Amino acid sequence: MNIPIDLNWIEAVMLASVRFTTFIFIAPPFSYNAIPAQIKVMLSIGLAIAVSPRITQNYHSLDTAGFLGALVLEILVGAALGFLVMVVFSAMQSAGNLIDMFGGFQLAQAFDPQAMVNGAQFTRLFQMVTVALMFTSGAYQLVLGGLTRSFTALPIGGGLDLAAPADAMIKATTQMFLASVQIAGPLIVVLFLADAGLGLLTRVAPALQAFSMGFPLKILLTLTLVVVVFVALPQIVESLTSQAVSLLIGVS
């Protein structure tokens, strides 16, 4: 029995799976620690096999030194693209952190080993809701589609222009801070006005000790008005997904 083995195809799929694996271990929602590492590796290999017709067209077998260099390059490309997606979706975590800080929940910080997030209630809640919405809405498919298109502009074993990822990271960080303020902005304004109102009331009637009501009032306002933010979360996740995909395509 003669079983032909295509070494070019095997090498290309191995290198592609390295890019996929690095990306999946960094980028949300796949980076969530509740997903076993074995599943992430199996998913990476499956995706590499799925895109093999595209990546093996112009691939030529490399020597040992060239293969090791291409391996390191694929790790760098996957890490850079995964970091871009992670930065974009960190806007949700930052928005939850702002709500915790202005709403009086910051003292109840805890570390979530599943999401690798250190924050209070709304920080962790926004992170979990983002992961759930990305899976239920199919946003993860768009992210994987953007990564798949990177093999066209950044072929296996090809070069990498470090200027493009650096510019994209700066742009992604700026968008992350802007998006977090936009998400939590209305609630922050209401909490600020509540503090200003309590300050004016203390000046008018110092005997009332209005600031003693500050914490329960801000917690009540936060729990009441955060519903408005949750209603808008699907549209926010959709917008963040579009930004992440555009950054992936821009780097590619």
pLDDT of residue 22: 92
Domain boundaries, position 208: 7-251
Residue 167 resides in a domain: yes
* Coil, helix or strand at residue 209: coil
- pLDDT at position 115: 65
Q: Could you tell me if 33 and 128 are in contact, meaning their C-beta atoms sit under 8 angstroms apart?
A: no
Domain-located, residue 61: yes
How far apart, in whole angstroms, are the C-alpha atoms of residue 207 and residue 103?
A: 25
Is 224 a member of any domain?
Answer: yes
pLDDT score of 20: 92
Assigned domain for 223 exists: yes
CB 134 within 8 A of CB 31: no
Residue 2 lies in a domain: no
pLDDT score recorded for residue 248: 79
**What's the pLDDT score for residue 5?**
65
The total number of structural domains that make up the chain? 1
- Residue 1 domain flag: no
| CA dihedral of 250, 72, 158, 241, whole degrees rounded to 10 | -20
The pLDDT value recorded for residue 21 is 93
Cα 47 to Cα 38: distance, rounded to the nearest angstrom: 14
Residue 138 lies in a domain: yes
Contact 35, 134 (CB under 8 A): no
The one-digit pLDDT tens for each residue of the chain (252 residues) are 566 666 777 888 888 899 999 999 998 888 888 888 898 999 999 998 888 888 877 777 777 787 788 888 888 888 888 888 888 888 888 888 888 888 877 776 767 776 677 777 788 888 888 888 888 888 888 888 888 888 877 777 666 666 666 777 777 777 777 888 888 877 888 888 877 877 777 777 776 666 677 777 788 888 888 888 888 888 888 888 888 888 777 765
Question: For residue 165, what pLDDT is reported?
Answer: 67
Domain membership of residue 12 (yes or no) is yes
Cα–Cα distance between 245 and 84 in angstroms, integer?
10
